[in-house]
Amino acid sequence: MKKTVATLLLLALGMTFAGNAMAETYTGRLASYFLSGPSNLPFRVYLDTSTPNCPGNLFYVDINNANYQAYVSGLLTAFSMQKSVIITYTVGTGGYCAISEYQVLA
């Protein structure tokens, strides 16, 4: 019984780390943004170049993210100032890309 529990814990830890390994990075500029209702990817940004695994170059900020307001504010500022960003993302809802974190470049 103890071996079974230990094996399950190791498998769970392995899956947790595997999920983090799936994050990818994009560097470029924001071409536009779109605001929608709360249950429909409410804040979306579209990038200036093609990203192969993000349909329509659409990235979104998950409304359940604890830093949602800060993420939106920073992305709007980057867009307004035409700054480049480095976005780390995972494929999320509907195959679109969920922003995990980002950096605005000087």
DSSP 3-55: HHHHHHHHHHHHHHHHHHHT-EEEEEEEEEEEE--TTS-SEEEEESS--TTSG
pLDDT for res 98: 95
Look up the pTM and report it: 0.76
- Is 19's pLDDT higher than 60? no
- The CA distance from 77 to 65, in Å, is 19
The domain spans of the chain are 23-104
pLDDT tens for 23-62 read 899 999 999 999 999 889 999 999 998 887 888 889 999 9
Contact 94, 58 (CB under 8 A): no
Q: What is the band of 2 on the pLDDT scale with cuts at 50, 70, 90?
A: low
- The CA distance from 89 to 23, in Å, is 5
Q: Which whole number is the average pLDDT over 78-88?
A: 96
CATH of domain 23-104: 2.40.50.50
